[in-house]
Structure 1
Amino acid sequence: MQRLVILGGGESGVGTAILGKKKGYDVFVSDKGKIKNNYREVLTINGIKWEDETHTEKKILNADVVMKSPGIPDKSPIVKALREKGIPVISEIEFACKHTKAKTVGITGSNGKTTTTMLTYHLLKSGGLNVGLGGNIGKSFAWQVAEDKFDWYVLELSSFQLDGIVDYKPEIAIITNISPDHLDRYDYKYEKYIDSKFRITMNQKKDDFLIYDADDEAITNWLQNNKIKAQLIPFSITKQFKNGAYLKDNNMEVNINEEEFIMETEHIALEGKHNMKNAMAATSVAKLMQIRKATIRESLSNFQGVEHRLEKVLKIGNVQYINDSKATNVNATFFALDSMTTPTVWIVGGVDKGNDYSELMPLVREKVKGIICLGLDNKKIIDAFGAVVDVMIEVDNMVDAVRMGQRMTEKGDAVLLSPACASFDLFENYEDRGRQFKQAVQNL
Structure 2
Amino acid sequence: MITLKEALKLNKEELVKFKDDLKAKIEANPELNAYISVDNVGDGVPVAIKDNIQVKNWSVTSGSNILQGYIAPYNATVIEKMLKAGLSPFGRTNMDEFAMGSTTESSFYGKTQNPHNPEYVPGGSSGGSAAAVAAGLAVAALGSDTGGSIRQPASFCGIVGMKPTYGRVSRYGLGAYASSLDQIGPMTQNVEDAAILYDIISGHDVKDSTSAPKDDKVSDKLDADRKLRIAVLPKHVENASTDVKNAYEKAIASLENAGHEIVNYELMDAKFDISAYYITATAEAATNLARYDGIRYGNRVEGKNLEETFVNTRSQGFGDEVKRRIMLGNFVLSSGYYEAYYVKAQKTRHMIKEQYENIFKDVDLILSPIAPGIAPKFGELSNPMDMYLSDLYSISVNLAGLPALSLPISKSDNGMPVGLQLIANAYEEQTLFDGALSLEREVNFSK
TM bracket (short chain): under 0.3
Report which of the two has the higher share of strand.
1
Task: Indicate the structure (1 or 2) with the bigger Cα radius of gyration.
Answer: 1
Larger relative contact order (C-alpha < 8 A, sep ≥ 6)?
A: 2
Q: TM-score, normalised by structure 1?
A: 0.26
